Every structure is written in C-alpha cells, then in structure tokens.
Amino acid sequence: MKYYFQMQHSGVSVENTLYLKFMSVIFHLLIEMTFTLLLNSKVVNSTIKLILRVFYIMPWVYTAVIIAIIWRLLLDPSGVTNYLLMDFGITDSYIE
C-alpha cells in the first residue's frame, strides 16, 4: 500500500493516463478518417463500401440489442424486477 501511494503522488499514474488517452484518441481518429475517406472514394467498389458501412453501423446495433436484452431480463416474470417487488412487499405475486 505504501508503494501505491508513493506512485500516485509521483505523477507517473497521471502521466501514463494522459498518454494512454492521447494515443487512444489519435488511433480512433485515424480509423474514423480512413473509413470516411474509403466511403467517399470513387475508387472503392460499391460492394466494399456496403461492407464498410455495415462495420461502421455494427456498434450502434450491438448497443441497441444489448439494451433490449437487459430490459427483457429485468421485466421477465421471473426476473429481477418481480423479485424486488415481492421482496419489498409491494406485490404478492409475480407480474406478467
């Protein structure tokens, strides 16, 4: 624990965090600019553009799907919400 506090006060952790954040931003900007230039290029085939658009949209789709799965698990008749409602005495039976 003593070493942890010495390292924290020495500024090394702040320096490493800033370096990591800076490199992450640069890396993401390079990837985004590459995708943008490829999508707007007339040299690239339309099929490749379609594949690049799919890869570009996939993180948004994954996020929506994960949120839908979490809500479905929460509101399932034998899920967390019904358990908490019954545990706190708000309801006597499962809500379907």
In a domain, 52, yes or no: no
Q: Is 53 helix (H, G, I), strand (E, B) or coil?
A: helix
Number of domains in the chain: 2
37 lies in the same domain as 67: no
69 lies in the same domain as 32: no
Structural domain that includes position 94: 57-96
Closest to 81 (Cα-Cα) out of 69, 71, 68: 71
Average pLDDT taken over every residue of the chain: 84
Strand stretches in the chain, DSSP E: none
For residue 59, give both structure tokens. 């993180």
Query: What is the per-residue pLDDT across 26-68, written as a single tens digit (0 to 9) for each?
Result: 999 998 898 888 888 888 888 988 888 888 888 889 999 999 9
In a domain, 50, yes or no: no
64 lies in the same domain as 39: no
